[in-house]
Structure 1
Amino acid sequence: MTQIRSATRADIGTILRFVRELAAFEREPDAVEATEATLGEALFGDALAAEAVIADGADGPVGFAVFFHNFSTWTGKRGLYLEDLYVTPEARGQGVGGALLAHLAGIAIDRGCARFEWSVLDWNADAIAVYRRLGGGGDGGLDDPAVDGGCGWSSWRGGRGCRQPEPRSPALSNSGS
């Protein structure tokens, strides 16, 4: 069974490895400039830029997600934006991606976020299929909620008729917010 937990400083090496693996998967293997030092400062320093969660399988980490808060002037509330989600090839198809998404949706609910959003590359059919299975849909164009927003899990907007995940414990927070 997969367990989702807050990342710690001890996970920085794993996070950087996952970032590099994700970049290679996204056909940009040389694009990663992050180092353990820059990730450590961004995720655990004095001025947090983002947060991370780790998906642990039976033999250790099998995935991660990095997210941060954004803000909507229309709602006057913050939102949660998923920057990266990665699951190792060996763990794909076992519900790890869905578990990470549900966990983050729970964080968004617990923190009173007006929405939870992310984007996916239009050629990443497996990820789009996961988002659609979890409630996204559309035609794959710019207005496709499985690609870049709209209603459903790929862009959960509280109180606007979208399916909402179950709330989770508010204990998961690096920032205390």
Structure 2
Amino acid sequence: MLLVATFKIRPVVLEDVEQLNGLMLRYIVDFYKGKTPEGTKLEDHIKHLLASDEAGTQFVAETDDGRLAAFATLYFSFSTTRVQKIAILNDLFVDAEFRGAGLGEKLFQHVLDYTKNEGYAYMSWQTAIDNTSAQALYKKMGGKNINSEWIHYEIEHH
């Protein structure tokens, strides 16, 4: 159980890139069992989001001693039917060392407030069927599992 009492949730800044890169690698490789991104791809992606207000944004939760404990990534799109911008919460990750202190809930609420305050029509997200802890958090925060009439497709490029 985490003993650190407070976290500062804030937008990512350039000085976070190295530490955030490590946190995101733990998310990709350790948590999702994905492949390590090649070369500087992940670092370049973080920098791209920092440089582009239109692509998306990232937030981090920082401990009192300056460590990054969690991150969330929002990507931005647009809804033609709503004629309004929308946000997609693509990632919300709390490092294993910091779980159990309600940090995921605080970070989720922060990004939800951000999307509301910035005038987004809605925020959407997905989670794995077997990620029951995330599902419990999202249900607690008011998220609804929308079993819509839409079918999700994708084509993966190797």
TM over 0.5: yes
**How far is the alpha carbon of 1:98 from its aligned partner?**
0.9
Could you tell me how far apart the structure 1 residues matched to 2:114 and 2:51 are?
Answer: 21
- Quote the residue 1:81 is aligned against: 88
Summarize the alignment of residues 164-175 of structure 1 with structure 2, pairs less than 5 Å apart.
none
Sort the Cα spacing of 1:46 and 1:7 in 2 relative to 1 into closer, same or farther, 3 A: closer
- The structure whose residues are more often helix, as a share, is 2
Give unpaired runs (5+ residues) of structure 1. 149-177
Sort the Cα spacing of 1:46 and 1:99 in 2 relative to 1 into closer, same or farther, 3 A: closer
What SS does the corresponding residue of 1:35 show, helix, strand or coil? helix
- Quote the residue 1:57 is aligned against: 63
The percent of aligned pairs where both chains have the same amino acid is: 25
Matched, 1:96 2:103: yes
Deviations 1:13-57, CA, capped at 9 Å, x for gaps: 1221122111121121x15343323421x1223675321111012
Name which of 11, 15, 24 aligns with 1:10.
15
The amino acid that maps onto 1:66 is T
**How far is the alpha carbon of 1:133 from its aligned partner?**
1.7
Q: State the TM-score, normalized to the length of structure 2.
A: 0.79
Give unpaired runs (5+ residues) of structure 2. 1-5, 153-158
List structure 1 segments (4+ residues) > 6 angstroms apart after TM superposition: none
Greater relative contact order (Cα < 8 A, sep 6+): 2
Sort the Cα spacing of 1:58 and 1:66 in 2 relative to 1 into closer, same or farther, 3 A: same
Aligned length: 140
